[in-house]
Every structure is written in structure tokens, then in C-alpha cells.
Amino acid sequence: MKAPRILIAGGGTGGHIIPALAVARELVARHGTEILFVGTARGMESRLVPEAGFRLELINVGPLNQVSLMTKLRTLAGLPLSLLACSKLIRDFKADVVFGVGGYASGPAMGAAILRGVPTMAFEPNAMPGMANRLVGKRVQAAAVNFPPAAKWFRNAEVTGIPVRPEFFSLAAPAADAPPHLLIFGGSQGARIFNTLMPRLASALLEAVPGLTLLHQAGARHAETTRAAYAASGADPGRWQVEAFLDNMADQFAVSRLVMARSGASTVAELAAAGKPALLIPFAAAADDHQRSNAKVMVQAGAAEMIEERQLDQPEILLNTLRGLFADPAKLETMAQQARKQAHPDAAERIAARLVQLAKST
């Protein structure tokens, strides 16, 4: 039997393209699949896909969501050409299945596949699907979602979770007598609101929680100013650390009693895999408010607490929440257990198997 040919379309952010690459590796390793990625020059796929050794074709397509009317009109005007470009790629590659992972290129590629009668499968990492997936969700043959609330937007949806690096699943919890440690991060670029607010609260928080230490990832552009703000705060310099970027995130999760973070899909999936309690502060400007939807699922599961950005106008809310969590080790342990229940260690394997099954049906 010939090897399946699967076209993977989309990207933009790491939350879309990193899981897609994990699925692609699984497809090649287990099923000998031929892979073609389709993306745009503006997305992270333009760098990450070639670095991973996969072929990437670029198309021109603009945004439709949370943009000006003029930008929407330009995107709509160019959409027929984007559909034609994707249709040609599907035909020339002889794709058996098109796998849409969300992002700019996903919509035209999925639309072209539907028009050509090629089986399609959608991947949705967020609790609230993005625009591209909402538009095609009822026309796909299958879907893989991370959160159960997203399933209603798709035909034949399966809750598979998001592929997460294996090391997150094998982390041991900190020893019961280990000093408390708080990890603060807002993604690879940092979170400006964390960088400005946490130094102002650091002294009071460290005074309120005996033995507490802080590690704050501030992002490359803001590390120096954030470090200076902590230094000016009067907080004990032996109990806080600011870094531009952390390349050993699994190790940092392992030693943390609590994680304070945004609620992007990949972050939430890593917290679940690690069984790590979290204080989630959704990025208020995220498309379709999807980070808030992600955080709500974890809160409802008892795995996290959430503070919305608008509440940070009263910094004492954040201070009191952190102080209360560290004062209740039993609650943190329960949150850790509930977080682990949200994990999906076999996500890449299940998604790849579903794609191959669709390919065999053609």
C-alpha cells in the first residue's frame, strides 16, 4: 500500500504549529507518511517547519479576525487566489487528507480541500475555535480538539488533547518540605503586565510567604527593565530571579509549587501534563477571548484559579490570591491532581492514527 500523503495547513503561533510538527513526526515515524506543510511568511511556520526538516509551501492570505474593515476587504478580495493556490498544491501533491491546524493558511487550504472532495480533518487547541476552524468545522470529516467545549463546533470531533513533550509527563512533584517556589512566565515574549506588576508586589509577597522564591521569565526585550524594577522594589535579591528566556521549562515546572502564566493552549497542556497547579491570567486581547475560555475549563476542573486582566487594576487581588494559595498546601495538591487528569499523553499518536484512517478511506 502506498504511503499516505497528508497536507498540513496553518500555523501563525506556536500553539498551532508546534503540535502540528509533533503530529507530523509521529506520522513519518509510525506510518511512513509523506508530509507537505502550507503556511504564510508571517507565521512561525516559516522558520520552524524548515528547521524540522519538512517541506513548506507559502501562500498569500491575510487576517479576517480583529482587524480593520480595510484589512478585511483586502483579505476577502485575495481569498479566491488563496483558494486557487491551495487547490493547486493539493492537486500537485496528490494529498489524501488535508489537516487544518488553525491560522491564516488553514482556512483557504481546508476550503480548497472541501471543494475538491479531499477528506479534511481539523485540529483545535483552544476551547473557543478560531475563525478558520469555525467556518469549516461542520464540513470536515473529523476533528481533534483539546477541550471538550470545542467539540460542538465540528463534525466527528474527538478530544485528543495537544501533543506535549514527553518530559513534562514524568516530572516528580517538589518534596513536601521543599521551600515554596513560584514560576512566572507569559510565553516566549514575556507578558508586559506581569513585568510591571510583579516587581511592585514582590516585597510584600516574599514577606507574606516564608521561604518563597520567584523565577520570572520576562522576555528578551524586557528582562533588563524587569530586573531593575525588582531591584528597586527592595525585595530580598536572594529570593528572586529574572531571566529573558527559559530553555529548560520542564525542569522549572518540576521545582515550582505554583505557576503563574497566561492561558494559551500549549501552556495549559504543559501544566496538565506536569500536574502543576496554576494561577492563570488570560491575555485579554487574544482572538475570540480564547485564553479566557481555556482558563475557565481548567478552573472548572479544579486545576487552576483565574484572575482577569481588568482585576489587576487592583493589585491586592493578585497579592491576596497568591498568598492564599501558598497558605493552603492541601489545595495546591488537589489542584495538581486535577491538572494531571486533564492531560493527554497519547495525543500525537491518536491524531496521527485518525489521519491515516481518513487517508485509507479515500
pLDDT of res. 176: 84
φ/ψ (deg, to 5) at 46? -65, -25
Residue 247 CB contacts under 8 Å (≥ 6 apart), including other chains: none
On the question of pLDDT at 294 being above 60, the answer is yes
pTM above 0.75, yes or no: yes
pLDDT mean over 221-247: 94
Residue 120, Cα to own-chain centre: how many angstroms? 22
Which strands form 304-306's sheet, in the order they lie side by side? 240-243, 213-217, 181-185, 258-261, 278-280, 304-306
pLDDT of res. 165: 87
pLDDT digits (tens, 9 = 90+) for 74-116: 655 556 788 889 999 999 999 999 999 988 888 899 999 999 9
pLDDT digits (tens, 9 = 90+) for 296-352: 999 999 999 999 999 999 999 999 999 999 999 999 999 999 999 999 999 999 999
- Fill in the DSSP letter of residue 343: -
pLDDT digits (tens, 9 = 90+) for 157-216: 999 999 998 899 999 888 888 999 999 998 655 588 999 999 999 999 999 999 999 999
Quickly state the pLDDT bin for 285 (edges 50, 70, 90). confident
Domains of the chain with CATH codes? 5-164+345-360 (3.40.50.2000), 167-341 (3.40.50.2000)
